[in-house]
Structures are given as structure tokens and as C-alpha cells.
Amino acid sequence: MSTPAGSPVRALLLDADGVVQYPELGWTGQLDDLGGSPGFFRDVSAAELRALTGEADLAELVGDLIDSRGLDVTFAELLAIWCRIELDPVMVKLVGRVRDAGLVTALATNQQSYRGAYMQQAFGYQDLFDRTFYSFEVGLRKPDPAYFRTVVDALGVRPEEAVFVDDMLANVLGAREAGLRAVLFPATDTHGHLRLKLRAAGVPGV
């Protein structure tokens, strides 16, 4: 990925899950076990979609799902599984180096309010990044190009001056449609692969 002439990189945007943090291995199966069927995680995820933009409260949506199935579980128990997350220390150092190089950094993530609040409290993302953009606060979610336009406008940079990293191709394509330089960081890539991609995109400090 080449750097457009006359457009130095001024901002680095990073997704959360699969990039900066990682859910506990097997967490989706744990939700299925708690719900008593293999399709419970799928149904909970479908309910979560409405909460990702802040248009609905996840506790109410999941509460309705629990009641409809007659389950003897609580929303708090489900949320505890959702919030079993580990921060990637290598990515924490990378963000620090990029900030030291003079770039503005941002967390750009799809989250519902309960998990987003947990992440802020547990990992201090408001201190690690210059800005955080949770979809439930923005009112838009990836891969909608409007989400990315909102983020770069808030950062005061042009789309072509921002590099975005995500582990999901759909989100990368949405960012590119909005004019950002977007890097795919799949689970099969190492941190070394990511650094090479970021250097090719013009990101200093990596």
C-alpha cells in the first residue's frame, strides 16, 4: 500500500477486538452453554446489533430473550462472559510509539454500552489513545462509511491522512470507501506483518 503524494499520515485508528484486545478463547461456546443451546450466542449477537448504535438497551433486549426461553440465567452472568478480555501488550507499546512520533491515535470499535464501559474502566483506553470512538456513542457502526467520516472529522484530519486497522475485511472495505487507508490484520498475521503493513501505509514510529 503506497503513501499518497502530499498526504502524510496524521492519525492511526485501531479496532479493539482482534487488534488491541482479545476475547477469552471459547467465549462464544460459553454463552451457548449458559443459554442451553448451540444457537443462543447467535440470538444474543443478533440482539446486540441494535445496541451497537445506542438505539436500544442491551440489558432489555437480552432480558427479553432470556424470558422468552425461560432460562435461569441473568444478564450479568452473560455480560461477565462477554467481558473476559485480554489486552495485547505489544499493541499497547505500538500505540505509544506512534503517539511519540506525533500521530493522533484513536480506538475505533463497535461496542454496546455495557462492554464499552467495562473496557474503559479495565484498560484505561481514554489514556492509551488520544480519542475513543465507541459505536454506541457515535450512533453509527462499522462498516458504515459514515462512521469513519464522523471519526476523521472529529479528529480534524482528512480521510486520506488516516490509517485504520481492523481484523474484519468488511470494516476495512468500509473505511476505504470513506477514503481512509485501511489495513487488514487477520488472525493469521503476526505483529511483524502488521508493522510492515503500517510502514507501507506511511505510519511512522512502528
Task: State the pLDDT confidence band at 1, using cuts at 50, 70 and 90.
Answer: very low
Distances (CA, A) of 101 to 10, 93, 95, 106, 136: 10, 12, 10, 14, 30
Residue 179 has pLDDT above 70, yes or no: yes
Residue 114 in this model has a pLDDT that exceeds 50: yes
Of 168, 201, 170, the C-alpha closest to 15 is: 168
Cα 25 to Cα 85, 140, 179: the distances in Å are: 9, 28, 34
For residue 182, pLDDT beyond 80? yes
pTM of the model: 0.94
Taking only the tens place, the pLDDT of each residue in 134-153 is: 999 999 999 999 999 999 99
Q: What is the pLDDT of residues 77-98, one digit of tens each?
A: 999 999 999 999 999 999 999 9
Domains and CATH numbers, the chain: 11-22+86-200 (3.40.50.1000), 27-82 (no CATH)
For the chain, the distance separating the N- and C-terminal CA atoms, rounded to the nearest angstrom, is 15
The dihedrals phi and psi of 31, each to the nearest 5 degrees, come to -65, -40
Q: Per residue in 41-52, pLDDT tens? A: 999 999 999 999
Is pLDDT of 2 > 50? no
d(CA 11, CA 51): 28
Residue 191 has pLDDT above 70, yes or no: yes
Q: How far apart (Å, rounded) are the C-alpha atoms in residues 28 and 48?
A: 14
Sign of torsion over alpha carbons 183, 185, 186, 188: positive
